[in-house]
Amino acid sequence: MSVTNTWKVYTQPMNIIKRMWEWFLVIISRNKQQTNKHVAMMEPSCKTNLPTSDVLVESILKNELIRQSTSLNLIASENLVSEAVLKVQNNVFINKRADGYPGYRHYEGCGFVDELEKVVIDRAKRLFKCKYANVQPYSGSQMNQAVMLTLLSPGDTIMRMHLEWDGHLTHGLATNISGMWFNTVTYGVDPKTGTIDMNNVLNCAIRHRPKLIIVGSTSYPRTIDWKAFRRVADIVDSFLLADISHIAGLIVTGLQPSPIDHCDVVTTTTHESLKGPCSGLILSNNQELSKHISTTLFPRLQDGPMINVMVATAVALLEAKQDEYRTWSTIVVENAKAMAKRFKNRKIDIVSNGTDNHLVIIDLKKLGITDKQVTSWLDRCYITTNKTDISNHLLSTDVVSGLRLGTYACTSRGMRRDVFEKMADMIADILLEIKNKGEVSLPLKTKTRMVVLGLADKYPICYNV
């Protein structure tokens, strides 16, 4: 075909359209190839599985799961989240910044963040039956700091439960920032009954006229009279803060009275009784106060929320509304009572002579042994516990004389009162042997380990790393 004829063919309308279409396809193909090159470059960092990218971290995670699965956890401030909470915390919101509050963000692209935060706020308000909730605190420290920075000026006086009487370090302990900024006075419990002495609380309040009274502890096994504290706060014209981190789940299920209607502000973590991730909630019925606290939390104290954690909090709060959660909470208290009764039968002293919640506090003074001896030997027997202070102890001031036990985590594994009675017997055997011999013999250690491993195998933790 001549050049002239060829040109005539290609210049015909249909041939021109066909040729243009072919060129278009070539361009698209080249662009696609170039795009695939970029995707191939991105995929290793975005999609690589952990075992192939970081063998060391993967091994640590697996070893921690083995430790949790093969031991009995009686640490009162720990629990087991559901598999749903565990999985959902790993989500795409980890890539998003969202400083601010719903409708008022410092970044674009926060429409779904706003939607999520509104859901968490609504669930918190419904669960605790309050009017206002801030769900952004990273932890218990930030939630309490936000309240203090809102209500107090540096040098103002806080009245709290003494750490020796189960108070918390974020409530004004000298070595904590709350104790560095504010003047702190303390109230305690009746040394005979182990319960809060309201006369002592009133006298302390009248003497020191605190601007803020904090109610709540890490190791108080009895029911708190919120109304009585409200009366004291009104007498001295003080703000009243309830930190219910340890018993929030028991409160929302009606097993403990709620402080919402009696306190200016209520704070709680979500990782203990609520079986959620590590975060905090600030609750109130006071609109104006809630606005000031929110402004204090952001931007004065912390920046944007950890949105991926907020997702897990949303799921945990929803789970806490279910009938199964109330059943679990009821069993938590039953297990603690069964354990306390068993210890008393074994002549082991229990603070306040019993419990109303998840806590069992053992007084080690009469046994003449220290917390460090006990927690170390229990850990070697695969029973995980922690120490606590006991008032008026006769040991040296740097020795903690109490053992704190909690029933949350093991109840979450499905264990019931008969298992907790067995655990109490194992712990009693170890305590008495330390008292008599100064250590735990190899036969008792071996026997205890075998029983613990048997229980751990019967009540597994069903997680995959």
Cβ 195 vs Cβ 222: under 8 Å: yes
Looking from the CA of 345 toward its CB, the CA atoms found within 13 Å total 11
DSSP string of 87-128, one letter each residue: HHTSSGGGG----EETTEESSS--HHHHHHHHHHHHHHHHHH
List the one residue out of 235, 298, 294, 265 whose CA is nearest residue 97.
298
Q: What is the 3-state secondary structure (H, E, C) of 188-206?
A: CECCCCCCECHHHHHHHHH
List the one residue out of 395, 380, 393, 354 whose CA is nearest residue 433.
380
Return the structure tokens found at 259.
Answer: 């402080």
Helices (H), 286-370: 287-295, 307-319, 323-345
The vertex-444 CA angle with 440 and 449, nearest 5°, equals: 105
Residue at 177: amino acid letter: I
Q: What is the 3-state secondary structure (H, E, C) of 253-278?
A: CCCCCCCCCCCCEEEEECCCCCCCCC
List the one residue out of 378, 104, 83, 141 whose CA is nearest residue 268.
141
End-to-end CA distance of the chain: 70
Residue 163 labelled as part of a binding site:
yes
Distance, in Å, from the CA atom of 310 to the CA atom of 120, rounded to the nearest integer, reads 7
Residue 168 labelled as part of a binding site:
yes
Return the structure tokens found at 107.
Answer: 């970044």
Distance, in Å, from the CA atom of 101 to the CA atom of 430, rounded to the nearest integer, reads 52
Q: How far does CA 37 lie from the centroid of its chain?
A: 44
- CA-to-CA dists, residue 93 to 90, 96, 215, 397, 429, angstroms: 8, 5, 35, 47, 49
Distance, in Å, from the CA atom of 395 to the CA atom of 369, rounded to the nearest integer, reads 9
Region of 144 (left: φ > 0; alpha: ψ -120 to 50; beta: rest) is alpha
Binding residues: 163, 167-169
Binding residues for (6S)-5,6,7,8-tetrahydrofolate: 163, 167-169
